[in-house]
Each structure stands twice: as C-alpha cells, then as structure tokens.
Structure 1
Amino acid sequence: MFRKILLAKTPHRVSSETFDTWQSITVGIYLAIVGYGVLVGIPVISTAWVSQIGFTEVEVGRLASADLGGLSIGSIFAAFLAPRFNRRWIVVCAIALTVIANILCMYTQTYDSVLFLRLLAGFGSGIYTAVSIATIGASSKPARNMNIMLFVFAFSQAFELQVLPMFSMNGIYGVFVVANLIGILMLKWLPEYPPEERETAVEEGVDDYHESVEAVRARKIAPWLCLAAIAFTYVNIGAYWTYIELAGIESPTADNEWVGSVLVWASFLSIVGCLVATVISDRFGLARPMIVTLVIHALVVGMLASGINNTNIVISLFSFNFLWIFIDVYQTATIANVDKSGRFTSLIPASQGFGQIVGPNIAASFLAVGGGYGDVFIMCAGASMMAFLVYSYMYVRLKRAIPVLADAS
C-alpha cells in the first residue's frame, strides 16, 4: 500500500531544469540545514534542558526522541503530500507549525507539555526538510549538491555548538523561530511541484535476460537497504549525540570545561571530513569507504564504554564528528545514485528520524533501569555494526548485478 502511494503519479509537473537553478539549490540547502538544526544542536539543548529547566537525564532522552522522531513522521507525511500539492504551501504550513511550537515552548516548562510541543516542532521540521531534500535530489547532479549541503551542514554544526550555549533556553527556541521565518522569505525560489521525467540513458553491460532480472531486483532493493542502514546509523548518532556532553560532565575523570571546549572544536572536524570524504569517494567510490567508516565509527563510540577521561573523549568526539560527515556524504550520495526518481531521497529524513526515535529512547531506558553511560555507548557501537552488515549486503548484491553502480562515486 505504502509503495503504491509513494510511486503514484502526480498531475502537476515543472521543468526539470528548474531544479538545477542556483535559487532552487539554495533554498533546498537552507531549509534542510534549518530542519536539521535541532539534531545538530542536541548536545547543547540537552544540557540546557537539564541545567536550566531541571529535566532529568531520562526525560532529556525522551524529549530528544520526540523532537527527532517528529522529524521522521513529518518526512513520511511529506512523501504523501509533496507529489500532489503545491510544495510552497506545504512548507509554509510546516514552518508555521514549527514556529508556533517553539514559541509555546517558551511559556511552559512542564515535561508533558514540552514533550508534546517538541513532537509538533519536529513534525513540522520533518515536512519541510523532506521537501528540501527531494528538491536537491531532483537536480541533475544530486550527489554533488548533496555534498554541498553537507559541507554547509558542517559549518552550521560548528556555528550552533559555539553560539547556542550563549543563550538561555528561551533564546535557543528563539533562534530556531528566526531561522524558520527566514526560510519563508526564500520560498519563491522553491519549485512548486515535482520535476518532469528526465531522459536517462539505457545502461550497457546487461548481456542476457537473467542478468537483466538480477539488475532490476538489485536496483529495487538497494534504496530500501540504504534507508534501513541509515536508520541503524542514526540509532548510534542519536543516542551518542544526545548524551555525550552529559556523560562527559558527569564523569569524575573528565573536566567539565574541557568537555565543552572539545565539543565545539570537534565540530570543525566535520568540515574537514566533508572535504576528505569527497576526495576518497572520487577515487574509491562510495560503498567501500562507507563500509570501513561504519566499523571505525563503532570503535570510536565503543571506546567510551569503560569510562570517560580527558584523553579518550577527545579521540572519540574528534573521530565521531570527522566520520559522521563521512557517513552522511556516502549515504546521501548512494541514495541519489540508486534512486533517480528522487522519491526515496525524500525519505532520508524519515530514516534518520526513526533512528533518532529509537536511539535516545533505548539510551534513556538503560539509564532509567540503573544502567550507565557505558551501556549506552555499547549499544551505539552495536547499531553502527548493524548498519555495516546491511551496507555490506547491499554492496554484494549490487556488485554481482550492476558493478558500475556498486562502485559509483
């Protein structure tokens, strides 16, 4: 049922060239960055919820799951709306919902109310984030434009982690309100409907019917495997990124001010990671570097399971941020390569958000039953290894059926 709705035709189309203009790419990138704003700033936001509002560590995990889970639900909702309705009006309504929810958060500090409002804010963000990702994915060079988005994302991460701690909790909400309202001013650049079908060349190298069937099956399953692996990856990222600052602050062998400084400086590694990931993928393709990266990612989060000190938190945070952007570059580009329709590309935020529902919730559950942060980091490592297994299986399937696509950059 879901597949039929997802692949349904829409009566409205705009020229595919519209999606290649700098205006379309700019508004797509901006809305995506704003939509991912809470994800980027969640370590600072989590600490503010505890220190300024008085929420417990368990409640913080639930709040993060609600906000980032709303992102997932909203993006799935957008997958139904975007092919059929005017995307500008969809985004206007989504931004309005997000702005109202953030403003109401300024006037309440009860856990249940904030939990509901963060779910609403995430839902609105998920809708326009999915539309923006679909807009970028519909361009003629989606992998390149996704890399540009992630490069800007790396800068926004460094900016948020440096600036947000300067604000009160209401000030943080206010930053998100202003960023969303700016997006409305750019909506005239957003294509109103999906693009016309682009002409695509028929692939060569398929020698017989059996190979053709295998290739078709591999191409159909690859986007779903990518989305599943993204979800596992973000179980790791969601839990680690929600609790890393709190875990460092509570560790008796780590200095509080040192942890905060490392968090800010580590964010700049994302910028370096984006550049290095592009260079490596141009030489070795996307799949093989991503598979190796997921294993290393598991190691750098798992190393904190035995305790946190000033040395290992530097290694873990710097490596985590450097490799996080690696993974995002490879994941988004892989989806863009195997899904020329752009339909699955719009579901990337849904997979990310789903992982971020599960990750912080599992972490909060460990803490609620008396577990420690070591248990959380072991779970994070396990989630990364699950993503490794899924991507490895996808690579083997594509390598056997469509070698050129398996090693595409």
Structure 2
Amino acid sequence: MNTRIAIDGLPLPSSTWGLLAAIILFAALAPAILMTAPAVAAQLASQWQLSPSQIGDLFSVELGAMSLASLPAFWWLKRVSWRLAAFAAAVLFIAANLLSMLADTYNLLLALRFVSAIAGGSLMIICLASAAAAANPGRVYGLWVMGQLVVGALGLALMPALFERYGLGACYLTLAGLMALLLPLTRCFTTGKPALRETHAALPGSRVKTTLGILGILTFYISLGGVWTFIGAIGADAGISAQNSGEILAFATVIGIAGAACASLIGTRLVLLPVGYGLMAAAVILLLGEPGVWRFALAAFLFKFTWTFLLPLILACLAKLDHSGKLMNASNLMIGSGLAIGPAVAGRLIETNGGFTALLLGGATITLLSLVLMHGSRAQA
C-alpha cells in the first residue's frame, strides 16, 4: 500500500478514504472520556460518591496513561505492523471498558481506566504517525482535531440523559460498542515498518530542528493548559455569573470546531503560524484586568478558535521533519506533559501573586516562545 495519503484531488482510492476515516474516527474515540470529563466527573461524584481528589486522580491517571503509551511505542513502532498494533489496542480498549462497567471498587476502576487509556494512547500514536505521512498533513490534522471536538460536544450533550437512565456503565458500554464497530477499519492502516525504511532516509530532519519542534509543542500546551484550566475562575473573579460563563465556554466549543475546520480547509500553510500565535496571545491579554462579559466572551472565543486552528499547523510542521512516526510519538508524550505542567504551574502563580495577572502575562509570553521555537523548527523547502 502506498504510505502517502493524497486528499487534495478527486476521486480518491477507496484505501485512502478508509485510512482517512480510520485516522479521524479512532483519534476521536480514544480520548472521548477526557473530552467529556465534566459530565463523567459529575456522575462519578453522584453515583460513586467519590471525593474531588479521587475524581482528579482518576482523570490524571487516564491522561498520564495516554501519554505514557508513547514510551513502549518507541520500541514497537518500528517492529510491529501498525495494523496489528491498532487491532490489539482496540480489542484491549473494548475489554477494559466492558470490565469498567463491572468494577465495584475505586482501585479496580482506577486500574481498568489506566489500561483503557494505554490502549487509547497507542491508537492515538498510530493515528498521529499515519497522518504525518499524508500529502497534506495539516488538512488531515484539522479533521483529526475536529473529530475529537465533535465527539466531545455530542458526549457532553447526550451523556447526562444516559447517565440519568442507565448510570455510569452506559458511558463505558457506549465506548466499547463504538470501538467494536470501528475494528474493521484497523485494516486500513499501513503495515508501518516498510514506511519507516522508505521515509526515514528521505526525511532525516535535523536534531536541532526536531528538538525545537518538540519544545514548541510542549510550551504550546503548557500555555494552553494553564490558561484554559482557570478561564472559568478568571470570569468569576471578574464578576461574571456562573451561568453566563458556562454558556460562553460551551459556545466556545463550537468556535473550536470551526477553528479545526478552517485548518482542514486551508491545509499546510505554515505561513499562518505567526498569525495564529499572535491572535492566541492577544486572546490571553484580553483576559487581563477583570474583563466584562463581552470582552471575556471575545477572549474565550478567540482563544478556543486559535488553539484548534494552530494545533493542526503545529503537527504538520513536525510531520515535515519526520515521517517515521517517532517524532509524532514524542509529540503525544509532550502533549500530555504540557497539559500536566500547565495547570500545576498556573495554580502556583495564582497563589503566589494573589491574582491572575502573572498567569496571563506568563501565558502570553510562553505562547510567543512556542512561536519562536516552532518557527526555528520549520524544515527548509
């Protein structure tokens, strides 16, 4: 099978459509629990009577395991067929979610969610590496991000009704059932190993540029995680009601889908990186000084739009350096690390300075630092 995906011209081979569908659907379903975290967290509190710290630990384990899946992947990406790896990970995901329905203790649920997240993280790595081999990776990554946002929005809309009627098990059963339906798509992935030999020699990349790219995506997610985690608290501190803030942030999800759609339509036009980064930094600055409702809404919409618009371009920039899958695997690890570091650093900045000014100024600075790093990593034409 040809390892390069061409999605710019029509008609496309059926194998190309299948691979594109596999990338989008597996990448959308694998992190579905994290994308619907608010609804799942509320159900864990009401049904399982878990404390906030227990709920936080549960989600930290899921996020951490998805990132840790990158470590064994450094070994198996170049030794195991990606089709076989995707099938095995999907079966493990199904089994862990079915068993999660039957879990009767917190520790057992914690262990099963760890296993499910390892499987989901492995699928994400295969999707990232496969998208990197596309003729226009920016367009594929745009669809990749959009799929996750759509699944998250549908989950947040539908899960509360399912929880009310069937309990938490409905979530895990739905995930297992949807993954079972996707199993045939695992055949659409390439074998992986031949692609490594073909592309690694042609696109060796520079170690310095690779390092800059990895640091660029890490700093991007540190800024993103720190600001977005506390954006609701920023609104509350400015006197914006919880209802208004919630409605604004919910609509921001729709704006985020639009950002990913724009990235998909535009494709790999890395010249837009400075524009996106500049607007994202401006959105952070707009949150300074107790913003009113309209300024808060503008900042939230702009931040969410540029976040989902930039991510496909950032991943496409990295994909130009390496088609072997190793760099995209490292990116998966950096995404999880950035999401973990950002809120932790932001919380301490807020406590130390007694407000959000240091967080916002720091977030804008780190956003621009990420731009410098990504610009330095760009492969020569």
Tell me if TM exceeds 0.5. yes
Q: Which of the residues 286, 295, 304 maps onto 2:281?
A: 295
SS in structure 2 opposite 1:21?
Answer: helix
Deviation of 1:146 (Å): 1.9
* Bigger Cα displacement from structure 2, 38-47 vs 279-288: 279-288
The Cα of 1:346 is off from its aligned counterpart by 3.2
Contact 1:366 1:376 in 2 (8 A): no
1:25 is displaced (CA, Å) by 1.9
Structure 1: gaps spanning 5 or more residues? 1-13, 204-215
Of residues 111, 118, 126, the one that matches 1:131 is: 126
* d(CA) in 2 for partners of 1:32, 1:98: 13
Whether 1:272 and 2:258 are equivalent positions in the alignment is yes
Deviation at 1:66, TM superposition (A): 1.4
**Could you say which residue in structure 2 is the equivalent of 1:191?**
190
1:294-345 CA-to-partner distances (Å, cap 9, x unmatched) read 4235436x54xx7798656534432332122022122111112232444312
Aligned to 2:76: 81
Q: Does 1:235 align with 2:222?
A: yes
Render the CA deviation track for 1:342-396: whole Å, top value 9, x for unaligned.
Answer: 4312332222122233345557x759xx959x86896576356335314314525
Q: State which drifts further: 346-355 or 47-56.
A: 47-56
**Structure 2: where are the runs of 5+ without partners?**
7-14
Which residue of structure 1 lines up, in the alignment, with residue 147 of structure 2? 152
* Secondary structure at the counterpart of residue 135 of structure 2: coil
| Structure 1 counterpart of 2:170 | 171
> Quick check: 150-159 or 129-138, which moved more?
150-159
Normalising by structure 1, we get a TM-score of 0.73
Residue identity opposite 2:177 in structure 1: V
Aligned pairs (5 A) from 1:306-317: 314-317=297-300
Q: Distance in 1 between matches of 2:249 and 2:55?
A: 18
Q: Choose which of 126, 138, 157 in structure 2 pairs with 1:143.
A: 138
Aligned in 2, Cα 1:136/1:396: closer, same or farther, shift over 3 Å?
Answer: closer
Q: Which amino acid aligns with 1:119?
A: F
Question: 1:200 offset after TM fit, Å?
Answer: 11
C-alpha displacement at 1:131, in angstroms? 0.9
Q: Give the alignment partner of residue 36 of structure 1, picking from 23, 26, 31.
A: 31
Contact persistence 2:80–2:193 (CA under 8 A)? no
Alignment partner for residue 50 of structure 2, among 52, 55, 58?
Answer: 55
Corresponding residue number in structure 2 for 1:211: none
Q: Quick check: 1:352 aligned with 2:335?
A: yes
| Partner SS, residue 206 of structure 2 | helix
Which range is displaced more, 93-102 or 69-78? 93-102
Instruction: Tell me, yes or no, if the aligned pair for 2:314 and 2:374 is still in contact at 8 Å.
Output: no
CA contact (8 A) 1:290 1:330 kept: no
Give the superposition deviation at 1:57: 3.6
Equivalent pair of 1:102/1:174 in contact (CA under 8 Å): yes
Q: Secondary structure at the match of 1:97?
A: helix
Answering whether residue 39 of structure 2 is matched by residue 22 of structure 1, we say no
CA contact (8 A) 1:98 1:125 kept: yes
Equivalent position SS for 2:192: coil
1:238 CA displacement: 4.1
Provide the residue aligned with 2:9 in structure 1: none
TM-score, length-scaled by structure 2: 0.78
- One-letter code aligned to 2:308: I
Query: Where does residue 122 of structure 1 map in the other structure?
Result: 117
- Secondary structure, counterpart of 2:79 in structure 1: coil
Distance 1:96 1:163, change over 3 A: same
Equivalent residues of 1:225, 1:390 under 8 A apart: no
Identity over aligned pairs, percent: 21
Correspondence for 2:206: 219
Q: 1:193 to 1:200 in 2, by over 3 A?
A: closer
SS of equivalent residue, structure 1 residue 338:
coil
Which region of structure 1 is more displaced relative to structure 2, 194-203 or 176-185? 194-203
Do the aligned residues in 1 keep the contact of 2:65 with 2:121 (CA within 8 Å)? yes
Task: Tell me, in whole angstroms, the C-alpha distance in 1 between the residues paired with 2:81 and 2:201.
Answer: 30
Contact 2:280 2:303 in 1 (8 A): no
User: Residue 191 of structure 2 aligns to a residue in which SS?
Assistant: coil
Alpha-carbon RMSD across the aligned residues, in angstroms, is: 4.0
